[in-house]
Chains A and B, each alone.
Chain A
Amino acid sequence: MPASVRSDLEHIFRAAYPKVVGVAARVLGSRDEAEDVAQETFMAFGRTSVPAGEALGWLCVAAAHTALNHLRSGRRRVSREEAASDRVTVAPDVADAVVQKEEHRRVRAGLSRLPRKQAVALVLRHSGLSYAEVAAALDLSPGSVGTTVRRAESALREELNRHASSR
């Protein structure tokens, strides 16, 4: 391992990698893309001196931001968009698959339109981080995490319902 890379990287990587991929996957709806984001995130983390105790929060926030940047930039690969998610491929018929795929697309579009802090808080919370962890990672008070997440859920639900009612 290069000398400029922190010595505890492997230990932290093995403990946090699945969680970091999960954060990115919730944003991107694609495991492959999420792994790309996770790799990018750990590459950056490896050169930081973030205390080990704060590593998970740092990594999850960075992964969420990076994944949201991918969404916003349209950097996603078409083939991956087509794949949408493994769940689509097991849909019982083509019509369901099309509907599911469209829903995935709407979720990603809705996420990319949320205020960034709301989107990150939402994804972190639904990735299993506690309120205290989300608060620490985003420099929020634990009390305002609930408010931020609630607003994000409400906005995203409206986005999904608007689409459902227009079909």
Chain B
Amino acid sequence: MRHPGEGVLRRLLDEPDGVADVDRLHVEDCTECGSRMASSAADALLIDSALDFDAEVDVDAAWQRLSGSLATAEAPRPARPRRKPVRTPIIAVVGVAALLGGASAAAAGNWFQIFRTEQVAPITVPQADLVQLPELEEFGTMRAESRPKIRNVDDAREAREATGLASPRITNLPVGVTGQPRYLVGDRVLGVFQFDRAKAEKALGQPIPEPPAGLATTEFRLTAGPGLAAVWPGNSGMPALMVGRVVAPRAFSNGVPFETARDYLLSLPGLPESLAGQLRAFSKDGGTLPLIVKEGSESSFTTKVGKAPATVLSTEGGALSVVFWVEDGFVNVAGGSLSTDEVLRVAKETRWAK
């Protein structure tokens, strides 16, 4: 007769009564199965030892803790002023957010633009969850067709010529920021993403829900840039202030709408449900990008730069502050080792020279 499978042998170790008599009797008389069984037993013993953990718990204390948490979670929250939707730039972003490509152009052929960065709303998530978000490469193929090639150029004029963008002009530098700026430029980036269900399931270690029809054959072209930045040194010679802009990220699809794909990706197991829910909500706004704020290390608030709504981020302790605002299809940024007041003043006073 045929030999029982590995699963039967394994169960025979733990629950012999759960194995059919015919299999049990076979193993008793079969040298080969006896050997396989011994191997299985050795592995089981080793792993049991490796996983063994004697976790004594105080159930009463644990119940008190849970009761307190449930009561707190249900308590009415103090009224907070409603913040207006944030309209700012893109920063960031992680995993799925890599989908937010952007850039001018490229709407060639039958590509149609379905997404454009006009709003970014802050979402606060635990820092660890940022790490947890899977890279897009794990969900399919991501082909970089052009890279930013960030480089120094000699002056503002060259920066403008290299990018076609206006350069920042600041007449009143913050205290501690000195000298002439150096200029950096970067070309437009373009990546092409195509979803692959098998890769996604492998990455997540489990079957995933049926993808939207057509997703597997859809290519998403993700672009951002070009961009430029002026960087001023501080008294120590280290960079103290940076002001720059980049053409806002955009996503193009030749099939399934980008937002459909994004919502599907966000619904996959492995993403924290709280974050996925927030992101799904944002997609309804059309054009709102998630701005990920690292909890505990950054704080944010919203304000305005001119007429443009802006988001200000600062690190814990205020060592670094950055303000982002979106205007006329550009993501603008001003940041440095300055207070939030200082970067906001710089942002408001920045003029863009063509």
Q: Are A73 and B132 in contact (CB under 8 A)?
A: yes
Which of B1-34 touch A at CB < 8 Å?
5-11, 14-15, 18
Which of A104-152 touch B at CB < 8 Å?
107, 114-119, 122-123, 125-126, 130-132, 142-152
Taking CB atoms, residues of chain B closer than 8 Å to A130 are: 15
Asked if B44 is at the interface of the complex by the 8 Å CB criterion, the answer is yes
Asked if B47 is at the interface of the complex by the 8 Å CB criterion, the answer is yes
B146, chain A: closest CB distance, angstroms: 32
Task: Knowing A46-B70, A116-B204 are in contact, say whether A74-B131 is a contact too (CB < 8 A).
Answer: yes
> Closest residue to B130 on the A side, CB-wise?
A73
Which of A1-41 touch B at CB < 8 Å?
1-2, 4-5, 10, 13-14, 17-18, 21-22, 25-26, 29, 31, 34-35, 38-39
Task: Knowing A43-B66, A43-B70 are in contact, say whether A160-B57 is a contact too (CB < 8 A).
Answer: no
Q: Are A146 and B11 in contact (CB under 8 A)?
A: yes
Asked if B108 is at the interface of the complex by the 8 Å CB criterion, the answer is no
Q: Are A160 and B7 in contact (CB under 8 A)?
A: no
Question: Please, how many angstroms separate the alpha-carbon atoms of A17 and B56 in the complex?
Answer: 11
Asked if B43 is at the interface of the complex by the 8 Å CB criterion, the answer is yes
Asked if A156 is at the interface of the complex by the 8 Å CB criterion, the answer is yes
Q: Are A123 and B57 in contact (CB under 8 A)?
A: no
Taking CB atoms, residues of chain B closer than 8 Å to A162 are: none
Question: Please, how many angstroms separate the alpha-carbon atoms of A143 and B63 in the complex?
Answer: 37
Which label, helix, strand, loop or mixed, suits the secondary structure of the B interface? Answer: helix
Asked if A75 is at the interface of the complex by the 8 Å CB criterion, the answer is yes
Which of B29-87 touch A at CB < 8 Å?
40, 43-44, 46-48, 50-57, 59, 62-63, 65-67, 69-71, 73-74
Most buried by A among B11, B14, B67: B11
Asked if A80 is at the interface of the complex by the 8 Å CB criterion, the answer is no
Q: Are A73 and B131 in contact (CB under 8 A)?
A: yes
User: What does the 1/0 interface line of A88-115 toward B look like (CB < 8 Å)?
Assistant: 0000000000000001000100000011
Taking CB atoms, residues of chain B closer than 8 Å to A118 are: 205
Asked if B206 is at the interface of the complex by the 8 Å CB criterion, the answer is yes
Taking CB atoms, residues of chain A closer than 8 Å to B129 are: 73, 75
Taking CB atoms, residues of chain B closer than 8 Å to A123 are: 51
Contacts A/B (CB < 8 Å), 15 sampled: A1-B70, A14-B59, A21-B62, A25-B55, A31-B53, A43-B73, A46-B66, A74-B131, A119-B205, A126-B47, A147-B5, A148-B7, A151-B6, A153-B43, A156-B50
